[in-house]
Amino acid sequence: MKYSIPLALPDLTGNELKYVSEAIQNNQLSFGSFIDRFENEFSKLCGTQKAIVCANGTCALHLALYALGLKPGDEVIVPSFTYVATANAVRYCGANPVFVDVDDETWCLNSECIEKAITSRTKGIIPVHLFGHPADMDPINRLAQIYNLWVVEDAAEAVLAKYKGRPVGSLGTIGTFSFHSAKVFTSGEGGAITLNDDKLESFIRMICSHGMDTKRRFFFPVVGFNYRLTNMSAALLCAQLERHETILNKRNKIFEIYTKKLQNIPGISLRPVMPWAKVSPWLFSIVIDSKFGHTREELIQHLAEEKIEYRPFFIQVHSLPAFRETSIHRGTQLPITDRLCNTGMNLPTYNTMTSDEVERVIKTIKYLV
């Protein structure tokens, strides 16, 4: 179906064409100066010493976990309320994701649930900054310190978000980001890793490029992957990063309109925001309950009839075929995750969305009230 109001659209209204053309004119398609430029600028934005670009956000997670030594038989604590890539990356290393519940205040990992799930096989925690809201990182990091665990932030949906004034991506051992076409910054695909550890950085750069020694060309001391990002993709990202404040302001205004017009509708709950959080305005989220008088599926159908795109919340990862049997064996019970995943949805949000388009989405929802 062709939607008159899509869920997301890339915004390429800055220097994207200029920079990509420059990369082409200089014959710097795969390698070139835009990679270094973006890594340097993105690390500053995230408050870390280093950033490493890679092919996509899933690759970023895989590289991080592999570099941290995750191996078969190990366990990693993850939310089930997330995109499947979070758990898939754990499986790529032969390890097992252990799913725990989220809390009602952040929709992110509940630290009390994390502690109950830690075993002798637990090696780390992957808090997901879901839908742009940071996880409550202080108690998570305290647990990691007590139990000698690493923390990998899945910030795929949360670029520009802050936790108690600190940028996401700087709050754990390693941060990972996605630049998929639906994200705030996009190169179509693309990802990044942020960190402060020189040894980890050197190793990740090596395994990201076939395992080639960074100081000795065509010498491969380890088996690696081909997870590199092209210079042309980095050129797109540089053009967006230089106007990140403008992008943030545009999306915040869209969030403000949604919040003002939807917050008092019976049966519709908005995504909670903690006072210590600065949310990345990725996709605006709502939850539907019985007081609305219609189910989420009925609202979805109504939006589709009006050619407005939507996205129901992710299916609980622990219930998917690849993870279901193990979760049943563990006796996994995640009531908050189940409720949110079964009743929540995301509304259209993109940089170039007009106030009239936002109002049309709101009017369409209110029609059912």
Tell me what pLDDT residue 273 has.
98
Last residue of a domain, one of 241, 273, 291: 241
pLDDT in tens, 85-108: 999 999 999 999 999 999 999 999
Residues 250 and 176 occupy one common structural domain: no
Residues 115 and 257 occupy one common structural domain: no
Last residue of a domain, one of 188, 214, 241: 241
Residue 339 lies in a domain: yes
- List phi, psi (to 5°) of 68: -85, 0
Q: Which residue has the tokens 């081909």?
A: 226
pLDDT in tens, 180-194: 999 999 999 999 999
Q: What is the mean pLDDT of the chain?
A: 97
Tell me what pLDDT residue 1 has.
79
Q: Which residue has the tokens 């390698």?
A: 31
What integer is the mean pLDDT of 30-52?
A: 98
Residues 274 and 249 occupy one common structural domain: yes
Residue 256 lies in a domain: yes
Contacts 24+ apart (CB under 8 A), 66-74: 66/92, 66/93, 66/207, 67/174, 67/200, 67/203, 67/204, 67/207, 68/123, 68/124, 68/150, 68/152, 68/173, 68/174, 68/200, 69/123, 70/95, 70/123, 70/124, 71/95, 73/121, 74/121, 74/122, 74/123
pLDDT in tens, 205-233: 999 999 999 889 999 999 999 999 999 99
Residues 88 and 175 occupy one common structural domain: yes
What range defines the domain where residue 99 resides? 16-241
Residue 4 lies in a domain: no
CATH code of residue 170:
3.40.640.10
Tell me what pLDDT residue 215 has.
87
What integer is the mean pLDDT of 144-167?
A: 98
Phi-psi region of 190 (alpha: psi -120 to 50; beta: other; left: phi over 0): left
The model's pTM is: 0.97
Tell me what pLDDT residue 214 has.
87
pLDDT at 246 over 90: yes
Last residue of a domain, one of 241, 263, 280: 241
Asked if 125 and 77 count as a contact pair (C-beta separation under 8 A), the reply is yes
Residues 175 and 308 occupy one common structural domain: no
Tell me what pLDDT residue 180 has.
98
pLDDT in tens, 354-364: 999 999 999 99
Residue 211 lies in a domain: yes
The whole-angstrom distance between residue 19's C-alpha and the CA centroid of its chain comes to 26
CATH code of residue 264:
3.90.1150.10
Residues 31 and 45 occupy one common structural domain: yes
**Helix, coil or strand: residue 290:** helix
